[in-house]
């Protein structure tokens, strides 16, 4: 075999290998073995989506019970998917990207206005996207049917799994009179999130990505957890069997495994007037992030970990998508 023939043969082998890899990726996207879906395990309650970038897997919890899981493909080197606590900003079952040549992104659920989304896509077994999180096609369709605008999505990169635990309680105590901000007209509707910063000693109320309230607050959580970030989703109210009192029930997501070993019974102390305003805002699905870090426009709990993104206007980047 001549040198030219050998080069041609190697080139053909590489070409066929690439074709085979692409075919495998496409096959996994449409292969039922790439996901599990058991909605009958929990038929109602707030939905939470978790994504592990390390294991390239996702899971869906409803009322704290896992009802689905699947393989994913996240952002490739140079286009890494950001980790953090997000909520779904909008949904489009037939989305096409203006950034990538009208590429189809079925059952797209946007996490950031600069284009990161959950959607059906190829699954080669490793990070391959431009920042989005690719899901099996059938799974993406089923997920689309149980989520809504405001559903919490936790993306983790520093641990092999995203830890979830339920029945935690947070209460709001009446504190001393202090100045606070309350501007609900700044964002008339949308998902509500709460963010407490130990560094700032403030509790922020965020609706649809806009801060509508803030107040000086105290909590006893950091007497047990010196630093870090924990995220919770409000599941509803439960009656205490011993006292007959209604107690708030929260599902904890993210945080290291040790943070899930004990059931929390914690509190925030805020101005009584702010307390009354706040309690009218908390509904099932509301998320709470408690962090030892300072709060900025792009708050970080660790390098690359985003808190409550999505503050740009949709019209600014409408129709985009990282793919």
Active site residue 148: no
How many CB atoms within 10 Å of residue 313? 9
Within 13 Å of residue 307, how many CA atoms lie on the same side as its CB?
30
Angle value at C-alpha 44, between 38 and 45, nearest 5 degrees = 115
Among 70, 95, 119, 215, which one carries the catalytic annotation? Answer: 119
Angle value at C-alpha 116, between 114 and 118, nearest 5 degrees = 150
Pairwise CA distance, residues 126 & 139, whole Å = 18
Tell me the Cα Rg of the chain. Answer: 22
Active site residue 119: yes
DSSP string, 113-182: TTS-EEEE----SS--BSSSEEE-HHHHHHHHHH--TT-EEEEESSSSS--EEEEEEEEEEEE----EEE
Among 70, 95, 130, 132, which one carries the catalytic annotation? Answer: 132
Which of these, 317, 305, 250, lies nearest to 90 by C-alpha position?
A: 317
Beta bridge partners of 233: 251, 287
Give the residue numbers marked as catalytic: 119, 132
């Amino acid at each position: 075999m001549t040198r030219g023939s050998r080069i041609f043969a190697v080139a053909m082998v590489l070409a066929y290998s690439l074709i085979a890899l692409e075919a495998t990726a496409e096959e996994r996207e449409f292969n039922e073995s790439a996901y599990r879906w058991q909605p009958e395990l929990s038929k109602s309650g707030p939905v939470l989506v978790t994504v592990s970038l390390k294991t390239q897997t996702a899971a869906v919890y409803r009322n704290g019970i896992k009802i689905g899981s699947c393989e994913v493909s996240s952002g490739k080197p140079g286009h890494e998917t950001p980790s953090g606590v997000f909520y779904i900003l909008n949904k489009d079952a037939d989305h096409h990207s203006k950034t990538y040549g009208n590429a189809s992104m079925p059952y797209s659920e946007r996490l950031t206005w600069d284009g990161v989304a959950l959607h059906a896509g190829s699954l080669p077994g490793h990070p391959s996207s431009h920042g989005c999180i690719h899901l099996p096609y059938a799974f993406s369709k089923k997920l689309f049917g149980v989520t809504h605008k405001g559903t919490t999505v936790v993306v983790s990169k520093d641990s092999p799994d995203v830890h979830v635990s339920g029945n935690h309680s947070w209460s709001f105590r009446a504190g001393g009179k202090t100045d606070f901000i309350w501007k609900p007209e700044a964002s008339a509707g949308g998902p509500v999130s709460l963010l407490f910063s130990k560094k700032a000693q403030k509790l922020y109320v965020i609706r649809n990505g806009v801060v509508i309230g803030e107040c000086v607050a105290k909590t006893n959580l950091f007497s047990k957890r010196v630093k870090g970030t924990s995220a919770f989703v409000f599941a509803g109210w439960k009656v205490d069997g011993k006292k007959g009192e209604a107690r708030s029930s929260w599902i904890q997501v993210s945080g290291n495994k040790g943070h899930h070993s004990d059931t929390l019974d914690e509190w925030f102390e805020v101005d009584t007037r702010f307390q009354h305003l706040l309690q009218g805002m908390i509904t099932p699905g509301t998320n709470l992030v408690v962090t030892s870090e300072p709060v900025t426009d792009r708050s970080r709990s660790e390098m690359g970990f985003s808190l409550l993104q999505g503050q740009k206007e949709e019209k600014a980047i409408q129709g985009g998508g990282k793919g």
